[in-house]
Structure 1
Amino acid sequence: ELIEQYKIWRKKALVNPNGQAGLTKHTRRGARAHTINFELGTLKTIFNLAVKWGYLTRNPVVGVSMLKVEDAKLPRFLSKEECQRLLAACPAELYPVYFTFLNTGMRKGELINLTWEDVDLKTRKILIRPKSDWQPKTRPREIPINDGLHRLLTRLKKTKTDSPYVFPGPDGQRLTVKLREKLIRIAEQAGIADLTRVHTLRHTFASHLIMAGVDVPTVQKILGHSDIETTMLYTHLAPTHLTEAVNRISF
């Protein structure tokens, strides 16, 4: 009941915590449904820990429904042809970076902090795990290495420097180049004007896994989503692909 009251309060509460003075016509409203759902998810995680550690006997968020998000914008993803154009426009020093994004769905922080100790070319697996000075967004996970990425990483390892990082900067430390700005320029050259976020490459990887017939729980595991509902966003498919899927069944 308390959490339900919280939902109602957040829908009505002013965005600006300082009151009416700093409000504009755009902020004279409560929090958006997406924001409230994010907060509920955070509260659920916190209360789960409280139950686990013995501070509570039950999680008050369990059973509380999420708010309906109207007109949710589906994630933009690149077609295979767009991926090929993007990679063809990449300068040699950045090609391995964006190729890896497209073939693993890694988050930017995960790729930047990837070391050779995390890469097992024999078992063809990449391990996403905490470092002494960096923590991944979610729990440790393994990402399979496909044939194309295996060839690229094998080639990189043969030419690697003393740096522990798979994609080091010029000084051998973490890559500090502004990947978003670089991606925008490359995308413009490739004729993909609406590609403005590195995260779109993660959407692309996930979407093509789904379109290739990979089940949602497996995609969730590879991407490292803590909630399967997040993975379900990637089940948006082109109508032609849906038709092809249905045509596989005939009675």
Structure 2
Amino acid sequence: MIKKLPSGRWQVDIQPGGRGQKRVRKSFDSKPEALRYERWVLNKHEAGEDWNPKQDKRTLQDLVKLWYIHHGHALKDGESRKKKLEATVERLGNPRATRFTSGDFAAYRLVRVDSGISENTLNHEQAYLTAVFNELIRQGHWKGKNPLEKLRRLKIDEPELAFLDQEQIERLLEECRASSNPSVYHVARLALATGARWSEAESVKPSAFTPYRVTYSGTKSGKSRSVPLSKDLYQELIEELPFQSCYSAFRSALGRAEIQLPKGQLTHICRHSFASHFVMNGGHILTLQKVLGHSDLKLTMRYAHLAPDFLNEVLEKGPVKTIFSS
């Protein structure tokens, strides 16, 4: 643990061996110095102690801290994931890591499902905790097995992705245009024209626009992607930059347009609508993958059934045609 003292100095206060073991305290002038010292102490402890299940008293919380120091801090969502992991560990009772089993997590998961927590949320909790053990094993900070290695995730029925038809899009854009927030109309059009996530379109910078395309950086996948724009839309948008925060205005516009969406799909409705119309109009699925920035084609294939010729081979290659044509 690192904390700032009233004097303005930063204090390292840790027990490398877990609770009940030797405590190390030291103060530094800056936080980076304190972080370096904390890592040095933990590395020294790990290097000088042979792993023994009977002696290793570290708890899950201790492993989460170790994971964050050696790996998590470098992730884009590292701080957010650490907080989620700490909350999960607390609900699990923060057991000693060597005594934690897949059965413990399965029992915890059952209680959480009964309390109304979604299967998707629990699968994320399992994935995050699994990643902690895997990373510590990879770096040599955990010599045991991953207790969640063989625990299957909960099965989730894939939800149908909603999209807006042409009439709904026109109605929505009319409401966006009438909004007191001038940016919502332009952000909605940009997202519908390029398949961008709402956050990507809303936060795009003037430097991202070049004739006649927009480049999204700092994306969810970490990779930049460029998407063409029509000349008219490009010229209109560059005059309106930078955009104001307008997600609430977009939600209100959807309400005024009397458009009902499945739970959890509001933020991506423009993205889903772009992808769905792209495929229905004959767009290639691999091109769509690049436009949406999907690293896994499986995500893009969710739209494949909308293609006008999807599975037409069933009519041509199946046995029924052969039977009736003979």
State the TM-score, normalizing by the size of structure 1: 0.62
- Are the equivalent residues in 1 in contact too, given 2:285–2:304 (CA < 8 A)? no
Deviation at 1:35, TM superposition (A): 1.8
Deviation at 1:114, TM superposition (A): 0.9
Q: Deviations over 1:10-45 (max 9, x none)?
A: 3323x4xxxxxxxxxxx7547432222222333455
Tell me the equivalent position of 1:197: 266
What is the distance in 1 between the residues matched to 2:144 and 2:211? 44
Tell me the equivalent position of 1:5: 103
Q: Which runs of 5+ in 1 are unaligned?
A: 16-26, 130-135, 161-165, 170-174
Tell me the equivalent position of 2:155: 68
The equivalences for 1:1-251 within 5 A come to 4-5=102-103, 7-13=105-111, 15=112, 28-29=114-115, 31-43=117-129, 45-46=131-132, 49-50=135-136, 55=141, 60=146, 65-70=152-157, 72-91=158-177, 93=182, 94-121=184-211, 124-129=213-218, 136-147=219-230, 150-157=231-238, 159-160=239-240, 166-169=241-244, 175-176=245-246, 178-188=248-258, 192-194=259-261, 197-211=266-280, 212-215=282-285, 219-225=288-294, 230-232=299-301, 234-235=302-303, 237=305, 241=307, 244-247=309-312, 250=316
Q: Deviations over 1:117-151 (max 9, x none)?
A: 122325x241222xxxxxx544132141243xx43
- Are the equivalent residues in 1 in contact too, given 2:197–2:270 (CA < 8 A)? no
Identity of aligned residues (%): 25
Question: Alpha carbons of 1:9 and 1:231: their partners in 2 closer, same or farther (altered >3 Å)?
Answer: farther
Structure with bigger RCO (C-alpha 8 Å, 6+ apart): 1
- Are the equivalent residues in 2 in contact too, given 1:11–1:31 (CA < 8 A)? no
Larger helix share, 1 or 2: 2
Deviation at 1:197, TM superposition (A): 2.1
- Are the equivalent residues in 1 in contact too, given 2:275–2:288 (CA < 8 A)? yes
Kindly name which structure, 1 or 2, has the bigger radius of gyration based on alpha carbons.
2
Name the SS of the counterpart of 1:5 in structure 2. Answer: helix
1:68 partner amino acid: K
Q: Which runs of 5+ in 2 are unaligned?
A: 1-99, 318-326
State the TM-score, normalizing by the size of structure 2: 0.50
